[in-house]
Amino acid sequence: MAIEDADIIHPSSALDKKRVYFGAMVKLLDDQTKSSLDVRIVGAHEINHKDGNISWLSPLAKSLIGRSSKDIIEVQAPDSIKVYIILEVNY
């Protein structure tokens, strides 16, 4: 497939904006500490943890993709399983 064969899809018409996909800004609640965490799912070269930008290849992002607000996700951390509740999904 060549670039000339690609279709341009405008995100506002193609995505279910209630679900998490690449580019989403997601507010999470850590179920254990009750603290909130804001992340944005970006490409591998755009990672910046200070700004909350996480790679779409990360375990957290993989757990979020396709999920929506109020879903509960589990992520394997090095020494435990972290549980988060999705509070908001924005684009």
pLDDT of amino acid 19: 94
Query: Cβ of 24: how many Cβ atoms within 10 Å?
Result: 23
- The sheet carrying 72-76 orders its strands as 53-55, 36-42, 25-30, 81-90, 72-76
pLDDT of amino acid 17: 83
pLDDT of amino acid 4: 76
pLDDT of amino acid 33: 96
pLDDT of amino acid 7: 66
Q: Could you tell me where the DSSP H helices lie in 1-91?
A: 11-14, 59-64
Please name each of the domains of the chain with its CATH number: 18-90 (3.10.50.30)
Segment 57-73, tens digit of pLDDT: 999 999 999 999 999 99
Q: Collect the ranges in the chain with pLDDT lower than 50.
A: none
Q: Please identify which residue in the block is written with the tokens 């070269």.
A: 45
Q: Cα–Cα distance between 63 and 72 in angstroms, integer?
A: 10
